[in-house]
Chains A and B, each alone.
Chain A
């Protein structure tokens, strides 16, 4: 082997090792390993090829503009939609856009809930948007979002 190609090969291997610390971490089981969930992937998975309608008219978001601490951002979602047995909201999902893991919660509803409402606390690592997606039992998807300014991040 020529010296030049040997050096090149060694450097390439070292770079791969540096870029992929996950490859060299064997002490954690698969369930315990950190998994990044990019916002776009989550959104595409939720939409499943369909298009989301603007839900700003029916989805009311009660989220502070600038919470004191990004670790606990209270999110209150109220959706003005009938909840009858043949026309109801079947799922509410809360996502963030710039965390490492962007999925906060997915809530499956039934007509027995009486109204479409959800309160949950969300972590936010930096200033970003909070996105709420709502699906009806007929497959319609509504989307609403709000920009939240975070001074002190709360996500590792």
Chain B
């Protein structure tokens, strides 16, 4: 299954040395495994986003370990320090080991 998600940088006109915030939105269910189908009575299997890793110019800057108490379609914001132009690469892994990768360019002004 293809995972859908967005990564963007919230700040604008940032410079080298500034701390900016990045936002991750993932379109994904967070089924706990406790809810049941009303018609058949069978529980929905546990199905959730498991891990998110952010790399900035090849350096690992953030790692998120999620569980089912996170809301459906998780929204996460985290800070990072701009050290130069480059790329922010975010890897997603869900509980069935489906993987996806989203990229955003980091372009400091000046």
Name A's B-contacting residues (CB within 8 A): 25, 27-29, 31-35, 37, 71-73, 96, 99-110, 112-115, 117-123, 154-156
Contacts and interface: CB of A to CB of B under 8 A. Distances in A.
B61 A103 contact: no
B80 A156 contact: no
Interface string B57-92: 001111111111111101111111101000000000
Contacts, number: 122
Given A113-B62, A155-B32, A34 B77 contact: no
A114 B79 CA distance: 7
A118 B78 contact: yes
Given A34-B34, A114-B81, A123 B70 contact: yes
A102 to B, nearest CB: 6
Interface range for B: 35 or more
B21 interface: yes
A1 to B, nearest CB: 35
Contacts of A96: 69
B77 A103 contact: no
Contacts of B62: 107-110, 113
Nearest to B42: A27
A27 to B, nearest CB: 8
A118 B96 CA distance: 26
Contacts of B75: 119-121
